[in-house]
Amino acid sequence: MFRIQWKQLRNYAVVVALAVTGTAALWQHQPVVAQSAPQPRSLPDFTDLVDAVGPAVVNIRTMERSRAAAAAPGPGGGQMDEEMQEFFRRFFGVPMPNVPRGGQRPSPRGGEEETPRGVGSGFILTQDGFVMTNAHVVDGADEVIVTLTDKREFKAKLIGADKRTDVAVVKIEATGLPAVKLGDIGKLKVGEWVMAIGSPFGLDNTVTAGIVSAKGRDTGDYLPFIQTDVAINPGNSGGPLINMRGEVIGINSQIYSRSGGFMGISFAIPIDEATRVAEQLRTSGKVSRGRIGVQIDQVTRDVAESIGLGKAQGALVRSVESGSPADKAGVEAGDIITKFNGQTIDRATDLPRLVGNTKAGSKVNLSVFRRGGSRDLAITVAELEPEKAPVRRAAAPDDKPKASPAAQSIGLVVSELTESQKKELKLKGGVKVDTATEGAARAGIREGDIIVAIGNTEVATVREFDNVVAKVDKAKPIPVLLRRGELATYLLIRPARG
């Protein structure tokens, strides 16, 4: 055992006390350093937004007229139908599918009945009763009924609908209505909170919220959609997408789903695009769009590099409509449109939007990349017409295939085009593919295709084709511009596999 003398213990205690006192004094003289920690952010409160915007959101119910017919009772008779309707009403809050709410309504016209067709949403644009919604909500409806949050119902008049953008405007006879405020899409940021109000499955004034997942999603020819994770379901269509300032920044229009219900991805029409359409609908009842008469496709990175374009941008012209503005301006199949009216075409889908928003009769400049160089063309935009069914052309009789050693080296057998084939296809020259094997077949070239250029060099005859093929570097992908029917495209013949 250790023995500690009292005197030693006392001296030790004094030392410890002095040490503690000194440390305390030292701490008193040290400056206090505040540690900066990020302040936790609270979740947003949407109650004020619902109070402010909710009264301007409406329920839209559509009806259609049908001939009255004697309804044969199903299994179990009418009593079973009534029980099933009550089950759906109690547990789901909606009528049983395909069964009218409250039965069919007799129409003033003899022999006809009005039956419910669908339910959607909308929002009030102006205090005098203009309402915006989706075109698919009111499409085919014989009667449109708008219900406000105060339970007032109005029969609405369809002012106009545009199926291409899925925007429609209806009008109710009322004044002093609560109207929404429209936001600025340019200020919308990915990740910010947004809210939706609508009637999913017929459940009026339902509020859901989420964030903006992406902007500029290409899901249509004329619209760059807003992608969100806001819960959107059937019945939400046509309702507003609202930012935290209480402004409408989009119309809920589509969802991505494998089941028919919400799966975490929904799309809204940007309000600036929708407003542009709505103004035309209110003015003339229809939307006027520009057209230049080309069919286009994306430009791939491989094609861009192989023809000297460098960056994968622009719109590849696959065909030019005869007599169209593009045809008159000198646009050719195989051209890549890089600018329209001074605005760069980054993706092929940019072109229809720019052309569509251009007033018919406007004269603009078009920049195209052709055979390794750029050129500017002047074009007069026409008005977009209803789409026409493509006309199938009768195939011209084949000439006897003529083998070409140069063509065979890349897996092709080609032959000359007849004058009738050139006239039919509106081509100055080219060679017809009679057989495609090896590298050509792997590239996707097939019998009947017309090759009009190798690399950036046009070929009008088999001899020209042979000369060009003999000179190309076969260790690199060979870009081939061809016509298939009335469409043009680029394909790459790659070196033989080792």
Partners of 270 in beta bridges: 250
d(CA 223, CA 217): 8
The reply to whether 81 sits in an annotated binding site is no
d(CA 84, CA 412): 67
> Considering 213, 237, 306, 415, which one is annotated as catalytic?
237
Judge whether 71 and 126 are in contact, CB under 8 Å: no
CA distances from 429 to 415, 453, 457 (A): 12, 10, 12
The reply to whether 284 sits in an annotated binding site is no
> Considering 136, 257, 324, 409, which one is annotated as catalytic?
136
Helix (H, G, I), strand (E, B) or coil at 489: strand
Q: Where are the beta strands (DSSP E) in 292-440?
A: 294-297, 315-320, 336-340, 343-344, 363-370, 373-380, 382-383, 412-416, 431-436
Report the run of H or E that residue 124 belongs to, with start and end: strand 112-124
> Considering 121, 162, 166, 350, which one is annotated as catalytic?
166
d(CA 469, CA 467): 6
The reply to whether 166 sits in an annotated binding site is yes
d(CA 284, CA 277): 11
Q: Which two tokens stand for residue 105?
A: 């309504």
Judge whether 483 and 424 are in contact, CB under 8 Å: no
Judge whether 402 and 420 are in contact, CB under 8 Å: no
d(CA 60, CA 54): 15
d(CA 8, CA 96): 94
The reply to whether 237 sits in an annotated binding site is yes
Q: Which residues of 400-424 are buried (b: 16+ CB within 10 A; e: fewer)?
A: eeeebebbbebbbbbbbbeeebbee
Q: Which two tokens stand for residue 59?
A: 């329920």
What is the C-alpha end-to-end distance of the chain, expressed in Å? Answer: 87
d(CA 225, CA 217): 5
Whether 136 is a known active-site residue: answer yes
Whether 166 is a known active-site residue: answer yes
Give 174-215 as a 3 state SS string.
Answer: CCCCCCCEECCHHHCCCCCEEEEEECHHHCCCEEEEEEEEEE
d(CA 300, CA 308): 12
The reply to whether 236 sits in an annotated binding site is yes
CA distances from 268 to 138, 221, 254, 356 (A): 17, 15, 7, 20
Q: Which two tokens stand for residue 331?
A: 């646009």
Binding site, annotated residues for substrate: 136, 166, 235-237
Catalytic machinery residues: 136, 166, 237
Where is the binding site, in residues?
136, 166, 235-237
